[in-house]
Structure 1
């Protein structure tokens, strides 16, 4: 998965759930700094999991702080399939 493919999924979800979008320059900003609260973060990540047909276990989910963290985890899972 490329950054563009990830952003193409993430940006509309962010727009729908929190009312703002995201671009490639914001992948390393924490969800908190993007004004994404914990419930919205779970909703966004759950929908990303659906879009990329993968699952992030709860212990890993608690350690992911940025959109790039989600992207890299999903890319790693996809590579092992």
Structure 2
């Protein structure tokens, strides 16, 4: 999965939830600073998991603070062995 593929899925989700546009420059901004509370963050991650056919453990979910953190984790878990 490329960063562009990730953004193509993530940007519309964030816009739907917050009403604000999301761009590549915001990948390192915390979810909180993007006006995404913990419940919305869980919804976003769940939908990303469905889209990219992956699963993120609950213990890992608590460590993901930014969209880039989510991208990095999913990239590692979906890369070919």
Would the TM-score normalized by the shorter structure come out above 0.5?
Answer: yes
| TM-score, with length taken from structure 1 | 0.94
Compare relative contact order (CA 8 Å, sep 6+) and give the higher one, 1 or 2.
2
Aligned residues: 81
Contact 1:11–1:22 (8 Å) recurs in 2? yes
Contact 1:27–1:67 (8 Å) recurs in 2? yes
Unaligned runs of 5+ in 2: none
**After the TM superposition, which segments of 4 or more aligned residues of structure 1 sit over 4 Å from their partners?**
none
Unaligned runs of 5+ in 1: none
User: Could you tell me how far 1:21 is from its partner in structure 2?
Assistant: 2.3
Q: Paired residue for 1:31?
A: 31
Counterparts of 2:53 and 2:21, CA distance in 1: 22
User: Could you tell me how far 1:79 is from its partner in structure 2?
Assistant: 1.2
